[in-house]
Structure formats: C-alpha cells, structure tokens
C-alpha cells in the first residue's frame, strides 16, 4: 500500500522527521501533495530517494540551495536537512507532487552482508551523505523506476528499488552532482558518530535560538574539548562553523520563499545583530542578503503547475 499525505499549509521550521516502520515492508514508499503536512525543512536518519513530478521551485540540501523542475531526481543521505518548495499561487495545491522512497542504513547494510552484489552501491550511498542530484538519462530512467516502485508491492517493489540504486551507482560523472558540504556520516568511529549526531540534533532543534558548545557537549556526555574533537571528525567542520552554515542556509531558504524583511530573516535565523548577519552571509554566500534576494527573484519562473513530462533519453 502506498501512503499519501494530504495537502495542508507548511512553515519553514526545521524539524526531525520520524519515519514510521512498517512490519511487512523493508522500505517506506509514499506520495504527497504540496503544500502538505509532511513538507518542510527536515531531516531523518533514513536514505530518501525523491522524485518531483510537477511544478518548479527551489530546494535545499544541507547548505546547498538549488532549483527543480518536473523530473527532478535526488538521493538524500541520512541526517541531511532537505526541502522542496514549489512556486505556487496563494491557495494552489500540486497534487501528488512528490514520489518518495525511504529506507534505513541498517537495512541496506544488512542486505549487503547477505547479497554481495549490493557492494557496488556502497560508495554511492556514502556520497549521498552530501546529497546527490541526478540528470540526463540516469534521471529519466530512475524517475520511471521510482514511479514503478511506488505502484508495486512485495518482491517487485524491491526489484525496482535495486534497479534505482544500480542506476545511481553507475551514473556517469556528468549525470550527477554532489550538492552539499561535508556532513555527518564521514566518521567510522562510533564515538565520533555519537558526538556528531548529538551535536546536529541540538543545532537543528535550537537553530533560531541560543546555541552553546557547552550544552552540546553536555548532551553528548563529553567535555567541550572532547566533543569538539569528535564533532569535527564526524562532520568535517567545527561546531561553530556548522551552526553558521545551517543558519545561513536557513536564511537563504527564508529569503527565497518568504516576504520577510532582511532584519526579520536575520532574527529568525538566530542573528540578533543585523551587521553581524550581513557579514556572515556575505562570507558564506559571496553576496549580501539584499542582493541575494534580488538575484533569486529575477531568476524565479512564474508560479505555474507543470505535469510530469518525461522523455526517453536520446541514446
């Protein structure tokens, strides 16, 4: 059975998504509208294969902001914050905009232990911790397989999933892009993973409020120096740098999808000094918040709903 989430309004708050397990299925498959109660900037420990079937808009993956159109195919690795926001008129709903497949790292790793053929997807899954966006023939074939997976059950569904993973694993280098900076998942040490997970969860839950290294270390049951060491081992960056990256990514999301003033966006992103916000934004993005918003507005397509019109690859 395919889950379907009804349309509703959604806000920009970052949240941890809880993916309910199904006792008779290894993977979760669903479709949903936009807006929907499950849309929004969030993260979860599962891998997510995502297909946009209609509309255009912007998406965020970690600290990356990009655009999407019908046929947009991506793979989001564990704990990578993500969101897709369509450019729609007030009150407009894109029905069944998203087709989604989610599965746990534990499940796929256990499957690899018993099915050695799956080893060929391991490197690709590791890359997905930074988010993968596919294009060309890979995206077209994957989109077909995703829709087939959504509308199948049992062994047939698993067959489509393995086909998708194979397509991703063997995609030519010019048909996929690694979009975000280094994130949780690079560390093999369990202590580092624990520190990274505790630190990221704390940042995600308090992104717009007061964030302190001392509190993060306490939540990880570590001293501040120990926590800092293991957090960097897990994420590839310092705790303070991660806070800045996430806050600026959130600010970009607000600038791109709301009409809030720059000062309001600064406060909503955890910056209570506008000069500091402008300085940090410029350092991270390479332009000021005001200039960024003008650029994004100029590049946005008009609000319109598109149907999925996939065409066979030319080769």
Token readout for 314 is 């030319």
- CATH fold of 190-299 reads Arc Repressor Mutant, subunit A (1.10.10)
> What is the domain partition of the chain in residue ranges?
3-178, 190-299
Q: Write down the CATH number for the domain with range 3-178.
A: 2.60.120.10
Q: Which residues, at least 6 apart from 123, have a Cβ–Cβ distance to it below 8 Å? A: 169
Q: pLDDT (tens digit, 9 = 90+) per residue, 187-227?
A: 557 788 788 878 887 887 888 889 999 999 999 999 999 99
For 274-305, the pLDDT digits (tens) are 999 999 999 988 999 999 998 866 654 443 33
Asked if domains 3-178 and 190-299 share a fold, the reply is: no
| CA–CA separation, 134 and 164 (whole Å) | 11
CA–CA separation, 39 and 76 (whole Å):
15
pLDDT (tens digit per residue) in 23-37? 667 899 999 999 888
Instruction: Verify cis geometry, omega within 30 degrees of 0, for the bond prior to 222.
Output: no
In terms of pTM, does the model score above 0.75? no
């Amino acid at each position: 059975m395919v889950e379907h989430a009804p349309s509703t309004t959604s806000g920009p708050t970052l949240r941890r998504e809880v993916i309910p397990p199904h006792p008779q299925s290894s993977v979760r498959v669903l479709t949903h509208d936009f807006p929907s109660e499950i849309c929004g900037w969030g993260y979860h420990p599962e891998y997510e294969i995502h297909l946009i079937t209609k509309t255009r808009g912007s998406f965020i993956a970690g600290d990356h902001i990009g655009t999407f159109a019908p046929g947009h195919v991506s793979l989001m690795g564990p704990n990578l914050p993500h969101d897709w926001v369509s450019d729609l008129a007030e009150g407009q709903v894109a029905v069944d905009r998203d087709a989604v497949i989610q599965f746990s790292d534990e499940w796929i790793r256990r499957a690899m232990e018993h099915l050695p053929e799956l080893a060929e997807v391991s490197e690709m899954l590791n890359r997905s911790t930074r988010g993968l966006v596919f294009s060309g023939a890979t995206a077209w074939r994957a989109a077909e397989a995703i829709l087939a997976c959504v509308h199948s059950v049992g062994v047939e569904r698993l067959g489509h999933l393995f086909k998708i993973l194979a397509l991703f694993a063997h995609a030519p280098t010019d048909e996929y892009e690694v979009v975000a900076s280094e994130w949780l998942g690079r560390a093999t040490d369990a202590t580092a993973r624990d520190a990274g997970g505790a630190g990221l969860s704390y940042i995600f839950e308090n992104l717009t409020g007061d964030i302190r290294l001392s509190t993060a270390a306490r939540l990880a049951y570590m001293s501040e120096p120990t926590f800092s060491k293991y957090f960097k081992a897990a994420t590839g960056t310092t705790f303070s740098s991660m806070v800045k990256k996430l806050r600026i990514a959130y600010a970009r999301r607000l600038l791109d999808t709301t009409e809030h003033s720059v000062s309001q966006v600064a406060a909503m992103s955890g910056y209570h000094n506008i000069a500091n916000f402008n300085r940090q934004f410029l350092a991270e993005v390479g332009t000021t918040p005001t200039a960024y918003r003008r650029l994004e507005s100029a590049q946005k397509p008009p609000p319109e709903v598109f149907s999925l019109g996939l065409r066979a690859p030319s080769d």
